Amino acid sequence: VASQDGHLKVVRALLAAGADVNQARTDVGIAPLHMASYQGHLKVVRALVAGGADVNWNTTHKGVTLTPLGVASAQGHVEVAQVLVAAGAIPRARGWASTAAERWMGIWREVAIAAADT
């Protein structure tokens, strides 16, 4: 919940206490990095990555394969996606309704270019 809600101090305290950064929520099977990436919590994503989070962790929720990069890209969180790629996330990994994160990043890049032209 701390990663989902962007509570950086709580995330850091949990990491310092030895919390398993890759421990998925048992009710939905989604890891903290997925939650922070989906919500666009850049500082939390950085803390989780620094704490050893698996940037290529994939899980299935409600029949949809999810990766941290896929959910960040699908939500338009470009900076989060950049941090994940820099940390080794695979852009061509399938995720978020079987759409490659690489495709989402391309879509958002086009949107940013179009917005800059207006």
For residues 52 and 55, give the distance between their C-alpha atoms in angstroms, rounded to a whole number: 9
* Token representation of residue 110: 């086009």
For residues 3 and 38, give the distance between their C-alpha atoms in angstroms, rounded to a whole number: 10
If you average pLDDT over residues 94-117, what whole number do you get? Answer: 56
For residues 8 and 56, give the distance between their C-alpha atoms in angstroms, rounded to a whole number: 21
- Which CATH number describes the domain made up of 2-116? 1.25.40.20
Looking at residue 97, its pLDDT comes to 42
Q: How confident is the model at residue 17 (pLDDT cuts 50, 70, 90)?
A: very high
* Overall pTM surpassing 0.75 (yes/no): yes
CA atoms within 13 A on the CB side of 96: 23
Q: How confident is the model at residue 73 (pLDDT cuts 50, 70, 90)?
A: confident
Contact (Cβ atoms closer than 8 angstroms) between residue 72 and residue 84: yes
Residue 116 has pLDDT above 90, yes or no: no
Q: Which residue has the higher pLDDT, 35 or 106?
A: 35
